[in-house]
Amino acid sequence: MTKLRREFIDSLQSRGLSPKTIRNYVNAVRDLSRHYGRSPCELASDEIVSYQLCMLREKKLSAATVNLHMDAVRTFFRLMLPESRVMVDIPHVKVPKRIPVVLSRSEVQRMIELTTNLKHKSILMLLYGSGLRVGECAALKPCHIESSRMKVRVEQGKGKKDRYTLLSNNTLLVLQDYYRRFRPKQYLFVGHRGKALGARMMGKAVQNAARRAGINKRVHAHVLRHCFATHLLEAGVALPIIQQLLGHDSIKTTMIYLHVGQAQIDRVVSPLDMEEVVHA
């Protein structure tokens, strides 16, 4: 490992970034350096712009992914070369705005009902019924299921924040069956060699459940979190409460669910169908 890379990692660690974020930042700067065969400290603004375009046009990376790479490079220059102005005029790539995929309540229910594997059923019900991120679900321990308060405790979720979210009665009943059968100790969901079941395996469980339920939409684990938020909003739960349950820093992040609340849209009457319209 070069001295520069070690110093960059030390700077990121001292700022409390997660190991995954550190790994992604280091890899992004490494890829930039390999692209030109030189230290990133030697690069000029036009070379970084050229690399940005290469990622978009040749590597066919999404705008969001390119922006993440550029954020890593910005962080590198800010920490390692604070006097540098290399990144000053390099803009973010405009990301197309897309609303999240959301399933109906009946579709989610069908996914759960057709899942016979008790571990997978428990995972599906926690992702949907508690609005957990898949990584948060993977990190759960038995002590995080606080049945006396009907809460799920999320420790050090995204942004290294603790929070509480909902525990449904139906989920608790399934979890009790699961606990009696498997007697988990360190982690609630265990994979191979006693380690926590990985987020990738949880994602496959969700995809398989969607396939069994005959759902043709592109379903991944995070979709169930979208469903949790959207269905609460459609039921009349206030946006700030949903924000707190999801663990969003800003309510602006939560406001995306205002655009996918189908129940409110279904209640809107076309102007042509309103009683006040005078027919010719």
> Which among 62, 74, 66 is positioned nearest to 50, based on CA atoms?
66
Mark whether 257 is an active-site residue: yes
CA angle at 241 for the pair 238 and 245, rounded to the nearest 5°: 140
Rounded to whole angstroms, how far apart are CA atoms 149 and 277? 52
Strands 145-146 and 163-166: unpaired
Check residue 177 and report its DSSP letter.
H
Q: 69, 110, 121, 225: which one is catalytic?
A: 225
Mark whether 225 is an active-site residue: yes
Mark whether 158 is an active-site residue: yes
User: Treating both helix axes as pointing N-terminal to C-terminal, what angle do 118-130 and 169-182 enclose, rounded to 10 degrees?
Assistant: 150
Helices (H) and strands (E) in the chain, counts: 13, 3
Helix, strand and coil percent figures for the chain, each rounded to 5: 60, 5, 35
Mark whether 35 is an active-site residue: no
Mark whether 222 is an active-site residue: yes
Rounded to whole angstroms, how far apart are CA atoms 120 and 204? 10
Residue 162, phi then psi, degrees to nearest 5:
-95, 150
Q: 144, 158, 163, 204: which one is catalytic?
A: 158
109 close to 58: Cβ distance less than 8 angstroms: no
Q: Which two tokens stand for residue 54?
A: 């290469």
Residue 188: how many CB atoms within 10 A of its CB? 25
Mark whether 133 is an active-site residue: yes
Q: 133, 178, 226, 231: which one is catalytic?
A: 133
- Amino acid code (one letter) for 54: C
Residues identified as active-site: 133, 158, 222, 225, 248, 257
